[in-house]
Copies of this chain bind each other. A is one copy, B any other.
């Protein structure tokens, strides 16, 4: 089954917001065996919306549309659907009751005429309940193509996908099984990898696709295939995986589908009953944010410090001023003291630290821009690691966080093995 996603909103086309909805929808559709053929973003413009609907209808059996369902005048998706489907808006009493309930219970403000218009839907539309908002989801059909319309507000759209759209698609269609397996590698460029796995790539069956995705110091290698029988699909990928792994053994660090590194680390910490503290300098809070953005971090995270100023490393993290003087603030010695002292301060089992120069200008250290040290302190002592992360600020920060996550995961896995 082929799908197209259409996101509607001037704010996308003028670059005021990044369209994150499409990636979420694509991922969820893929999980149930539906491939996305095209993602199209267009303005809140009647003619253009009609043209995009017609194009999608000609190419896809499922069209998912987000945006343009607000109560204000700039939102025209519903009216345009009526025109496209030769339908008219009718009041849906269930939606009206739901909107009234939301206003009474949560919004606690009088309901306005504009909000009542949200209860009008095309007469042939099946309503999908939007738990988190006043704009309903809608399921419509036109000559065998399904059109699903949802609000563009990400958390409302996600609720609708999870609770309404995905279950209905699964119930109604026998869908194939799509499998992606993504190998995370570190330390080699994509063309060097391509040379190492050249024979493997040439011998891949035509039903399996291989893709290279370089990003922030890593290259991800993705194998993809699909089929009706889940076991056969799994076996096909497993066979290729068994051939690929020995070739990239030195640079392989994990599978993306196992979860993000912060989740894997969280699981390892919880399984081992250990706690974590973080002391960041050059990564400026990006590392702790990765953990706290997921719920449940309080089970293992004691806390973190961003000691951005050199003086705060001395005052708060109790790094020796003499060590900074001797080795510079970007050094193995400082990274190690930061980790050791953060571990003590937070009384955690493990602590990780970063210190480096992300640029664009040199800070309180003379080391070249891009120099980074990562320290890890455990009950067994402290270790540090040195890297050169290039001269692009954003990338230095991102690569350092990725590398620190990898080292932390490795440390926890080693510990697991030793037991």
Interface of A with B (CB < 8 Å)? 10-20, 22-30, 35-44, 48, 52, 55, 70-74, 106-107, 109, 112-115, 132, 153, 155, 180, 182, 189-192, 194-195, 201, 209-215, 220, 222, 224, 256, 278, 283-289, 291-293, 295, 297-298, 301-309, 311-312, 315-316, 345-347, 358-361, 363, 390, 392-395, 397
Contact = CB atoms under 8 A, between A and B. Distances in A.
A71 B198 CA distance: 13
Contacts of A11: 211, 213, 222
A23 B28 contact: no
A304 B317 CA distance: 12
Most B C-beta atoms less than 10 A away, residue of A13, A27, A361, A397: A13
B298 A293 contact: no
A155 B395 contact: yes
A385 to B, nearest CB: 19
B289 A284 contact: yes
B39 A12 contact: yes
Given A192-B112, A298-B363, A36 B13 contact: yes
Q: List 3 tightest A-B contacts by C-beta distance, closest first.
A: A284-B292, A15-B27, A15-B26
A72 B112 contact: no
23 contacts: A10-B209, A10-B211, A11-B211, A12-B23, A13-B26, A15-B22, A16-B23, A16-B182, A16-B256, A38-B41, A39-B41, A70-B214, A109-B189, A132-B392, A283-B292, A286-B289, A288-B306, A292-B397, A293-B394, A295-B358, A297-B308, A298-B308, A316-B345
